[in-house]
Each structure stands twice: as C-alpha cells, then as structure tokens.
Amino acid sequence: MSKLVFARHGLSEWNQRNLFTGWADVDLAEQGVEEAIKAGQLIKEAGIKFDIAFTSVLKRAIKTTNYVLEFSDQLWVSVEKSWRLNERHYGGLTGLNKADAAAKHGEEQVHIWRRSYDTLPPEMPRDDKYSAHTDRRYALLDDSVIPDAENLKVTLERALPFWEDKIAPALKRGKNVFVGAHGNSIRALVKHIEQLSDDEIMKVEIPNFPPLVYDFDDNLKKFDKYYLNPNE
C-alpha cells in the first residue's frame, strides 16, 4: 500500500479578495498559513510518513508544502517543484474580482468559463503584467507550451505527464507521496485517478483544508479516499 496526500494551498490573499488568481504568484493570507500549519499537524497526528513531495512553482503552494512538512516533522523530505502542478491559467480573467467579471460579462458566461470542462476563458494578452511569457521561472520552457488561458481539460493535459513520470511511479514503488498544489490541478488529477466523467468532475470541489488522502494498492487500480478529520 502507498499513500498520496493532496493539500490544496491555504487561503491566499486573492482568494480572500475574491479575485481570479490562476498563475499570478500571490501569497498566503494569514488564515492560509494557519490552514497549512494545521494540515501538517493533522498529518503528524495521523502518522503519515512521506518519501517525497511535489509542488508547483507558485509560492502559495510552495509555502503550504513547507509548512506541512515542517509541522509534520518532515521538513527534510525532498521537494520537487514543477509548473505542471500550477493552478489553472485563468487567462484574461486573472486579477479580476469575480463579482465584477460577472457584472461585465454576465453571470452565465462567467459561470461557463469557471465551471465548463472544456470552454476556455478569454486569453491573456502576451504583454499583460501577469503574463507567464516574460516570467523567468518559465524561461527554460518552450514558449509554445506556456498558456495564455486554460480550462480544466487543458489543465489535465498539462498535469498528466507529471503524474505519469513522477507521482505514479513513486506510488507504484510503495512510496508515500505529498502533493501541495491548487484547486484545479488537484481536481484534474482526481479526475484521472477516479476515472470521472467530464460532468462528474465539475461537481467536485477541493477545499483549502483539510488534506485529501488516497490509499492505493500496488497497481494503483484500487484505492480508499478520505479527508483527514480535524475533529478526531
């Protein structure tokens, strides 16, 4: 048996302000720090020992990962960062207040952009201040793979190679894996793990807290799924 623990980053400053965040590199809010610390404490109380950890290249997920490892007394565990675990890119919606976006584009249109599996939001202009094309953390990537907008379908296509190359092989070797990531990158991997339909995954929400745990058999075909209970 192997364990995979997903922790969505704690509440961010933009979550708190109800802004579309995506690839914008915003920090954790004070509540988010507390959530990450509590997640680490829950993992420690559950006796879960990690062999390796993965996170995105966005600081809200990186800091969450660090807090989780620190407060589960596992700060020494190796951490690999990858852009493939980044949040979904919200394109031209990035930085907009969700209520303001609904007033501008209509609630129904914004709902489609947010919740449709395969409808793209408006693309972000390449000269936008939040554009990833000029961000040096992506300088080693081919410019053609850097997105200007993503839906959940594209997010899964981007995250799946990392699952196949890094996460799944570790689990198949019996390793316990921690992934500190984002609501939509985690949802994308959950869709793959559970073989959910396009409609089924749209009903799935990943909370900032508590952590989500999968217990797998050796071939990753059977699993138990549960959230760590902060009340136990």
**Secondary structure letter of residue 164 according to DSSP:** I
Let me know if 9 is a catalytic residue: yes
Q: Which of 13, 30, 35, 87 is catalytic?
A: 87
State both tokens at 130.
Answer: 């939040």
Backbone angles phi, psi at 35, to 5 degrees: -65, -40
Q: How far apart are CA 205 and CA 227, in angstroms?
A: 13
Sign of the four-CA dihedral 86, 88, 94, 95? negative
Neighbouring CB atoms inside 10 A of 53's CB total 22
Q: Is 123 a catalytic residue?
A: no
What is the β-pairing status of strands 223-227 and 212-216? Answer: antiparallel
How far apart, in whole angstroms, are the C-alpha atoms of residue 129 and residue 18? 19
- Catalytic positions, written as ranges: 9, 87
